[in-house]
Amino acid sequence: MILAEEILEKAKKIKALLTDVDGVLTDGRIIYDSEGRELKFFHVRDGHGIKMLVSHGIEVGIITGRNSTIVEKRAKELGIRYVIQNAHDKGKIVDDFLRETKLESKEVCYIGDDIVDLPVFVKVGLTVTVPDAPMEVQKYADYITLNYPGRGAVREVCEIILRAKGIWDNIIKSYLKK
């Protein structure tokens, strides 16, 4: 993967990754079973990427406009402490996150897929979207993933951050020793 120097420079500064759920961590489809229970499909590599960030001291958070017990469960599995659901003003939520964590905007990466995410794009240091996002969103993103939502897009961003920080090679070496 060859990345523009500008993306690597921004990624090197990242101390927190915030992400939307539907259309980023999932493929965007909402599925209900015959009893009305919501189902979501999460990709295991996205989860492993998040765990690698968390284990290297990078905060990960979820900001989603919907409310789902499945999101709470997945966040807990991955060690994600910051989960905001029913987020109707994502820009304000990011302002609150920056204040709470005392991070600077340039230290935060956000992955979003729709126009409701644009208020966050103007507040963070590295903005990412997915290949099937509307053109208006792609226009404001620093980076468009090669992988699709729910199919490794988040993992791709996790790897970019870890590579930019010089951590990735050590992660690979640690797996080769096992």
Assess contact for 146 and 138: CB atoms under 8 A: no
In a domain, 87, yes or no: yes
pLDDT at 166 over 90: yes
Instruction: Write out pLDDT tens, residues 56-104.
Output: 999 999 999 999 999 999 999 999 999 999 999 999 999 999 999 999 9
Q: Which residues contact 163 (CB under 8 A, 6 or more apart)?
A: 8, 11
In a domain, 2, yes or no: no
In a domain, 129, yes or no: yes
Assess contact for 155 and 45: CB atoms under 8 A: yes
Q: How many domains is the chain partitioned into structurally?
A: 1
Q: What is the pTM of this model?
A: 0.95
Residue 36: how many other CB atoms lie within 10 Å: 6
Instruction: Write out pLDDT tens, residues 126-136.
Output: 999 999 999 99
Residue 55 is part of which domain span?
A: 7-176
Res 91: pLDDT: 96
Compute the distance between CA of residue 55 and CA of residue 71 in angstroms, rounded to an integer. 20
Residue 37 is part of a domain; what is its CATH number?
A: 3.40.50.1000
Taking the CA atoms of residue 129, residue 162, residue 104 and residue 130 in that order, the dihedral angle to the nearest 10 degrees is 0
Res 93: pLDDT: 97
* Helix or strand holding residue 55 (H, E): helix 44-55
- Least Cα distance to 103 among 167, 57, 56 occurs for 57
In a domain, 32, yes or no: yes
